[in-house]
Structure 1
Amino acid sequence: MARILIVDDSPTEMFKLTGMLEKHGHVVLKAENGADGVALARQEKPDAVLMDIVMPGLNGFQATRQLSKDPETNHIP
């Protein structure tokens, strides 16, 4: 199945999303902030990214903008 990156600073949301996705056979990659999410997306090239918006430091909008401008990651939904 798909490799999905979850970027979220909430342990509760991370737990819920991970459980749902793994139940359906997906491989879940996790990052707790925008900067780590961008780095992990560049390194692992997931099939999709689920990005929280409100996070300390690099927020979801900024992280998504970086991913969309990078030729290595701009194809990832």
Structure 2
Amino acid sequence: MPVKKILVVDDSPTERHVLVQLLTQNGYQVITAENGEEGIGKAKAELPDLVLMDVVMPGLNGYQATRTLTRDEATKHIPVIVCTTKGQETDKIWGLRQGALDYIIKPVNGDELLAKIAAL
């Protein structure tokens, strides 16, 4: 199933803007959320084809939100790619253990991200 609608969950207005620009210029419909709680709510309401999840956010962090989405009956079919500044190998392993399909380190390489989305 081709990815058309993407939910970007990030507390940084700059990061959200950069990702929204990149994705909309490449034909994707983009929804945004500013934190984990809002991301879970929008994922359930909008049922996007993909979630791009930041980790370091106030309240529910990206690991917790990813775990919630990937274990909930309504959203577990939606792939999650973690996009974060946390670049340690242990961070990546932990992110994938929460149910993330992939893990990208910020600053995001646009070509790499688009290739990963196209491969879904």
TM-score, normalised via structure 2 length: 0.63
Runs (5+) with no aligned partner, structure 1:
none
CA distance in 2, matches of 1:47, 1:12: 23
Identity across the alignment (%): 56
Question: Does residue 65 of structure 1 match 2:61?
Answer: no
Q: What are the equivalent positions in structure 2 for 1:1-77 lying under 5 Å apart?
A: 2-77=4-79
CA distance in 2, matches of 1:17, 1:30: 10
Structure whose alpha-carbon radius of gyration is higher: 2
Measure how far apart 1:6 and its partner are.
0.2
Letter in 1 for 2:63: F
Letter in 2 for 1:17: L
CA distance in 1, matches of 2:63, 2:48: 18
Count of residue pairs brought into register by the alignment: 77
User: Following superposition, which runs of at least 4 residues in structure 1 exceed 6 angstroms of deviation?
Assistant: none
Deviations along 1:16-64, one digit per CA (max 9) or x if unpaired, are: 0000000011000000000000000001000000000000000000000
Name which structure has the greater RCO, CA cutoff 8 Å, separation 6+.
1
TM-score, normalised via structure 1 length: 0.97
